[in-house]
Structure formats: structure tokens, C-alpha cells
Structure 1
Amino acid sequence: MKDEKEKKSKVKEKSSEHSAQASEKKETNTQTSSEEKLTLQEFKEKICPECEQLKEKEEKVLRTLAEAENLKKRLQREKEEFCKFATSAFLEELLPVLDNLELALTHSQNQKECAGLHQGVEMTLKIFRDILKKHGLVPVGEVGEKFDPSIHEAMAQEEREDMEEGCVAQMYQRGYKLHERLLRPAKVIVSKKCAPKEEKTE
């Protein structure tokens, strides 16, 4: 009997120990869960706003870089544009010289006594044109082409039977372009239909 009582007593003690350990584990798990929840809350309150701020800063940096790149390209285009047309005023002042050389060539064309002069002017004019062409100056306007108000300036009209209406009948003064920009329009005489002839009455 005494042994049985001792056994029962030991069983009760072990049961109490197990209950105490289980209670301690439960408290520990509850505390750990509470700490995890607190850590998650701290993450939401502290870490997430910092991520948003970092994202905003990254976007701001990217925008700044894009604006800087666009500015660089625009300045490069403006520089190229300036270099391309920097000589426009100087070349425009040379056009009357070119006109006079062409006029001298035209007037000396059929004169035998001016054959040497004609040849010299022709060579000079060719060299002059080649130099101007290297700098982007090209002539515009040809006899027979359709009148184009973007490159032609009409000085008068002329009745022509051998030409369609609205064509360049004569070149009064040649026009020029510097690259794609019109430097001076071609002054021309434009063709028009001939007036119907009146029948003679006897």
C-alpha cells in the first residue's frame, strides 16, 4: 500500500511538472508571437515609408537625368544649326558679285573681241560657284519649271505659246539656298496664255 501511494505521488509530481512546462511554453509562444507582430508593425511604420521615399528619390534622379539628356541634345542641335548658317550674312553679300560675273558672261558670250575675257570670266565663275557650293550655297530656279512661290518671286508675266501657263519664262535674277534655307528667291517672269487673236473684218 505504501508503495502504491508513493507511485501515485510521483505520478502527480510528474504531471504537475508537465503542466508547468506546457504553461511556460505557451507563455513563451505568446510572447514570441507578440514580438513578431510588433516587428511587423514596426516594419510597416518605419521601413515602408523609407522605401517610398527612396522610390521618389530614384524617380526624381531619373527625371533629372532625362531632362539633362534632352537639354544636351537641344544644345547640340542649336550648335549645329548655328554653325550651318553662321556664314549666311557673309554669303548673302557675295551674291551681287556672283550676279555681276554671270551678267558679264552673258554679255560677252557672242562677241569675238571679248573671247579671252569671256573665257576668263567663265573660269572665275566656275571656281567661285564651286567654293560657294562647298559652303552649302546652291542656286534655285530654272527656266521652264513650274512657278513655286516658296522659291520664286514673280516680277512680270509674259505670253508664251511654247510653254504652259504658270511656268518660269525668263530668269531675271537667280535665287539661292543655303543648305535647306532660302537665302534669296529667284526673280522670274512667269508665262501666261496668249490672248485669242481677233479676226480681221473686211
Structure 2
Amino acid sequence: MSDAVQSYILTQDLRDLLAQEISTLKKQNILLQQSVREQKTIAAAVNEELFLELLEVGDTLEVLLDYLANNSTPSSEFIQRLPKSLGAVQCKFLNILKKRQVTTIEIEGTQPDFNLCRVVEREIRTDLADQTITKVVRKGFYLDEKVLRPIEIITSKLE
């Protein structure tokens, strides 16, 4: 191998052009770093808002659980209000999801759409056509247009 040193001669115009391009790249780098910092700040604020909303849901559930823990025989008034209270908690939770483009998948008809449904069990039902939905076990959700979690269902089978 040769230990020859190669040298390049740059004209003043070429040096000026390279210096200008390096300066431009440095400015772009600074702008990108600022943009990344801003995006991190925005993401942190969005996460903080989500966590605060979820904590409200948790607080409501905690009040209900504390009442049940401290009252071995809950009043009939509490028992009557319980479904409405839990429904309000569920509504609040679903609204939190909806604000983030997470929506419930709705089933149309009695036959499963296997792009939206997952069969978790089959039950013998001679009074229904094969693969008729007999029960929704767990709701499914979209995230924007994507299936986040399919609906879990039970379907009929003839034998």
C-alpha cells in the first residue's frame, strides 16, 4: 500500500458554496431539534390530559368501592343508584376514548363479520341458523378506521 497523501485544491467559489451548505444544514438541524422538542412537549401534555381524565374515572370507582367496603349491607337507595352510577362511569370512560378516536364497533345483523368479530365460543342452538351471533361477550373498538380490538362473540352451531 502506498502512504501517498492526496490533497485537493478548492477554489474560493467552491469553499464559499460548501460553507453555505454547511451553514444551511446546521440551521436545518437546529430547526429539527426544536421541532422534536415541541412534539415531545405536545405529546407530554396530551398524555397528562389523558391520565387526569382516567384518574377521574378511577376516583369515581374508588368512591363506590370504598362505600361497599365500609358498608357490609349497602342501603337499598345505594343499590338502586348503582347501575346509574356505573353507567355514568362507563359513559365518561367511553367519552375519553372517543376524544382519542377510539370508537365502539357496532354489529349489523346477526351474522358475524370476521373482519370485526372473533368467535370465542360456540353453542348448540337448533332454533338458529349456523353461525348466528347469540351473544356479545366483549365490545370491540376502532382506532380511527383500524380495528383496535375485535368484538368477541358467541355463535350458534347446529350440533
Interval containing the TM-score (normalised by the shorter chain)? 0.3 to 0.5
Q: Specify the structure having the higher radius of gyration (Cα).
A: 1
How does the TM-score come out when normalised to structure 1? Answer: 0.39
Higher relative contact order (CA 8 A, sep 6+): 2
- TM-score between both structures, scaled by the size of structure 2: 0.47
* Greater fraction of residues in helix: 1
